[in-house]
């Protein structure tokens, strides 16, 4: 593919060109794909409305690019390697030819069950190959998939189904995750009581557990596909037709159904996948995310497959049957590019180093991270213990809304700095905005991160609520997309994401980034993970409350508190010293592994009567422990 950087000079050149001649730059990349009709114009845009269209008037089907296009050149190459939850079960190796055939067969099944172009189909499945088949089969016939992470409750599922008026849901009887079995079909049944738009429910048999069947509505996957042929002409889609809806939680209220479209999303995810990870022909690439998140959509399915890569899907969890499951799988499949989240890294960093050392990790070449700012200690552990100091760390900063990487190193090419996402991808024009809404020019500045120019994979709207799309992302800073994140651009022009801007604490008139304080506390050898929030303080306006999770219970809490205070003083400055330090055995996390600071903030504020909905947490029980604890 064109415009892939092979040196830092290349990157700088591509970047300059992508800014000076964006249309020519993206047109060149667009031309690498199979289109049924070429676009009339590369880009139409107006951030005030906002309205963005890429490859305007172009016609294509993304699955033709992810599958058919590869049949001649790499039909027998593995498209998907599937590693099951239980290491005792056989992995699946699915070639491009086999995947093409399965997708076509299931696409015909969907059609037979009454699904047409434009219909919404909800997918609520464990991490099995049929999940990828379902996603691509929808795209094959122009149906809009809405994947809901299979850890969400029936209530969350019901809300998402109704928001998009889905006509069908695809699920499984149950799902395995570690030593747990989740009764997915039971959860679906509960949700469907309040989902009038659902006509059919296709159920894959995975766990074999007892389930209820509703006559006329439910059917088994195996029976549904039986006798369906494996040839299915792709539906010809407009470049700007909807490809999928994916929900992301808003800071308040109901989840936002982010809408992504076909043409630009395909071009951008394939290009950034190849460029940032420097994927080479024959590499085994493993992203540990779930397809229920944007990371799985863009960088397990669409990006890698559009690029003709071998992408691994993992059904299990990092902690079962042992805390070395990731390293065992890397070794077993000789993984070359490994992509995971800081929360997983921090959990694994806690363990006995022997768990890492007993596996051969020499196949690894590139290590990626995504989802939240990675603290320096975790960065170093990942770099030294997993990468043995020879694998570049690709800290990819992006969002559900952006569809693909915004700021990220190019593996082995961009000089990295711990905890920095480094430099923008070609085509991305960041702006750092100050409190007065003015852009900070030059380096050595800090502020709110906006993007000034459209990029091909950006979300086009919130399903059914364009006004909210405008208000959330395009009203705070007119004519710019506002990410909701804070960042620093250092003296060299490198970006460090400092976290959501609602996580800034102003203490005695000083702006303190929670991530900065957390990082400092994490430097302590006995500290595993920290969350810092602000709470109102009589004299300083705000003060800092630190929730600290240790590797070993501290022998003397007061001694450890003193050491932490000294550390924060030393690293950030005395002003950042937490007023309270509370030792906890875990932090409340969302199912995607993000720390729920909102809840911690309420606890710190003493606002414990109204903690909001904690039922969607990964570990709701931890909230009671924290409430019962004391902080000095
Ligand atoms: C938010 C988006 C993008 C896929 C997973 C999360 C934070 C994401 C990084 C990173 C610092 C990061 C931001 C962003 N974030 N990646 N590399 N460094 N922060 O998608 O659920 O839409 O969350 O995650 O705060 O706004 P998401």
Peptide bond into 321 cis (omega under 30): yes
Q: From the CA of 341, how far away is ligand 1's center (Å)?
A: 10
Q: Which residue, among 157, 169, 85, 187, has the nearest Cα to 127 in the 3D structure?
A: 85
Range of lowest pLDDT (140-149, 225-234, 277-286, 506-515): 506-515
Our mutation pick for probing the ligand 1 site, out of 294, 369, 398, counting the most ligand atoms within 8 A of Cβ, is: 398
Contacts of 521 (CB under 8 A, 6+ apart): 527, 530, 532, 546, 548, 564, 567, 568, 578
Give nearest CA residue, ligand 1 atom 7. Answer: 372
Predicted confidence (pLDDT) at residue 515 exceeds the cutoff of 90 = no
What residue segments make up the domains of the chain, in order of their start?
34-451, 504-627
Residue 98 tokens, joined: 């086999």
496, 497, 519, best to mutate for ligand 1 pocket (most atoms within 8 Å of CB): 497
Q: Return phi, psi of residue 173, to 5°.
A: -60, -45
Q: Which of 373-377, 458-462, 604-608, 613-617 has the highest mean pLDDT?
A: 458-462
CB 56 within 8 Å of CB 39: yes
Give dist(CA 80, CA 126) in Å, integer.
15
What pLDDT sits at residue 317?
Answer: 94
Q: Architecture of 34-451 per CATH?
A: 3-Layer(aba) Sandwich (3.40)
At residue 530, the pLDDT reads 94
> pLDDT tens-digit profile of 457-511?
999 999 999 999 999 999 999 999 999 889 999 999 999 998 777 566 767 656 5
Q: What pLDDT is attached to residue 282?
A: 97
- What is the pLDDT of the chain when averaged over all its residues? 94
Q: What is the pLDDT of residue 506?
A: 65
Tell me the CA–centroid distance for residue 219 and ligand 1, in Å.
37
For atom 19 of ligand 1, which residue has the closest CA?
372
Q: Decide if 334 contacts 363 (C-beta within 8 A).
A: yes
User: Collapsing DSSP states into helix, strand and coil, what is residue 597?
Assistant: helix
> Is the pLDDT score of 449 beyond 80?
yes
pLDDT at 252: 46
pLDDT tens digits along 253-278: 468 899 999 999 999 999 999 999 99
C-alpha 365 – ligand 1 centre gap (Å):
23
Determine how β-strand 256-261 pairs with β-strand 242-248: antiparallel
Q: How many angstroms does the Cα of residue 452 sit away from the middle of ligand 1? A: 19
Q: Whose CA is nearest to atom 1 of ligand 1?
A: 399
Per-residue confidence (pLDDT) for residue 608, from 0 to 100: 80
Query: Atom 5 in ligand 1: which residue has the minimum CA distance?
Result: 371
pLDDT tens digits, residue range 175-223? 999 999 999 999 999 999 999 999 999 999 999 999 999 999 999 999 9
Structure tokens at 539: 């004299």
Q: Which residues line ligand 1 (CB under 6 A)?
A: 248, 293-295, 370-373, 395-400, 421, 483-485, 497, 500, 592
Within 10 A of 248 (CB to CB), how many other CB atoms are there? 16
Helix (H) or strand (E) holding 29: helix 22-30
Does 55 have pLDDT greater than 80? yes
Task: Tell me the whole-structure pTM to 2 decimals.
Answer: 0.87
| DSSP class per residue in 510-556 | EEEEHHHHHHHHHTSTTEEEEEEEEEEETTTEEEEEEEEEESS--SS
Looking at beta carbons, which pairs linking 514-517 to residues 24 or more positions away fall under 8 Å?
514/597, 515/373, 515/375, 516/572, 516/576, 517/544, 517/546, 517/568, 517/572, 517/576, 517/578
- Domain 504-627 CATH (choose: 3.40.50.2300, 3.40.980.10, 3.30.360.10, 3.30.300.30): 3.30.300.30
How far is the C-alpha of 399 from the C-alpha of 397, rounded, in Å? 7
Q: Tens of pLDDT along 81-109? A: 999 999 999 999 999 999 999 999 999 99
Q: What is the pLDDT of residues 312-355, one digit of tens each?
A: 999 999 999 999 999 999 999 999 999 999 888 988 998 999 99
């Amino acid at each position: 593919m064109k415009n892939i950087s092979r040196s830092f000079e290349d990157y700088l050149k591509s970047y300059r060109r992508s800014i000076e001649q964006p249309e020519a730059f993206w047109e060149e990349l667009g031309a690498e794909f199979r289109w049924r009709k070429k676009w009339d114009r590369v880009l139409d845009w107006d951030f005030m409305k906002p309205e963005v269209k890429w490859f305007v008037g172009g016609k294509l089907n993304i699955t033709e690019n992810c599958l058919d296009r590869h049949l001649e050149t790499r039909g027998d190459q593995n498209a998907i390697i599937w590693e099951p939850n239980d290491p005792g079960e056989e992995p699946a190796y699915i070639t491009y030819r086999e995947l093409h055939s399965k997708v076509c067969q299931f696409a015909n099944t969907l059609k037979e069950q009454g699904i047409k172009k434009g219909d919404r189909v909800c997918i609520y499945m464990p991490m099995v190959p049929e999940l990828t088949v379902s996603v691509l089969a929808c795209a094959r016939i122009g149906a809009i998939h809405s994947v809901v992470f299979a850890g969400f409750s029936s209530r969350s599922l019901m809300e998402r189904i109704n928001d998009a008026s889905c006509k069908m849901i695809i699920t499984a009887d149950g799902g395995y995750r570690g030593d747990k079995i989740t009764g997915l079909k039971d959860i679906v049944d509960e949700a469907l009581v309040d989902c009038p738009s659902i006509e059919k429910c296709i159920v894959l048999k995975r766990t074999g557990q007892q389930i209820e069947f509703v006559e006329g509505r439910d059917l088994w996957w195996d029976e549904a596909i039986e006798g369906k042929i494996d040839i299915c002409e792709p539906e010809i889609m407009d470049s700007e037709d909807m490809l999928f809806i994916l929900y992301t939680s808003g800071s308040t209220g109901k989840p936002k159904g982010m809408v992504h479209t076909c043409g630009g999303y395909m071009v951008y995810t394939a290009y950034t996948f190849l460029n940032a990870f420097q994927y080479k022909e024959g590499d085994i690439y493993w992203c540990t995310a779930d397809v229920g998140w944007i990371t799985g959509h863009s960088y397990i399915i669409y990006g890698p497959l559009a690029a003709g890569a071998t992408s691994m899907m993992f059904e299990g969890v990092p902690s079962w049957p042992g805390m070395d499951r990731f390293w065992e799988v890397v070794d077993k499949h000789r993984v070359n590019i490994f992509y995971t989240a800081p929360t997983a890294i921090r959990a694994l960093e806690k363990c006995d180093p022997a768990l890492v050392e007993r596996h051969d990790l020499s196949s690894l070449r590139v290590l990626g991270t995504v989802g939240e700012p990675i603290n320096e200690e975790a960065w170093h552990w990942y770099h030294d213990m997993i990468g043995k100091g020879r694998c570049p760390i690709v800290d990819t900063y992006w969002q559900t809304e952006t569809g693909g990487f915004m700021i990220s190193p190019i593996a082995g090419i961009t000089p990295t700095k711990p905890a920095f996402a480094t430099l923008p991808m070609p085509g991305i024009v960041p702006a750092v905005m100050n409190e007065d809404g003015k852009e900070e020019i030059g380096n050595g500045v800090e502020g709110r991160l906006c993007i000034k120019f459209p990029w091909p994979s950006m979300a086009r709207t919130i399903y059914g609520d364009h006004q909210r799309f405008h208000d959330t992302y395009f009203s705070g800073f007119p004519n710019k997309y506002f990410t909701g994140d804070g960042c620093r651009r250092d003296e060299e022009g490198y970006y460090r994401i400092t976290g959501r801007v609602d996580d800034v604490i102003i203490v005695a008139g000083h702006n303190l980034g929670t991530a900065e304080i957390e990082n400092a506390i994490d430097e302590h050898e006995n500290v595993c993970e920290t969350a810092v929030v602000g709470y109102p303080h009589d004299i300083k306006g705000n003060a800092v409350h630190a929730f600290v999770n240790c590797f070993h219970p501290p022998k003397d809490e007061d001694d450890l508190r003193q050491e932490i205070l000294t550390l924060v003083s030393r690293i950030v400055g005395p002003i950042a010293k937490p007023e309270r330090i509370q030792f906890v055995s875990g932090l409340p996390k969302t199912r995607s592994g993000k720390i729920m600071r909102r809840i911690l903030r309420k606890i710190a504020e003493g606002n414990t009567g109204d903690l909001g909905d904690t039922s969607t947490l990964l570990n709701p029980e931890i909230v009671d422990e924290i409430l019962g604890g004391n902080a000095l």
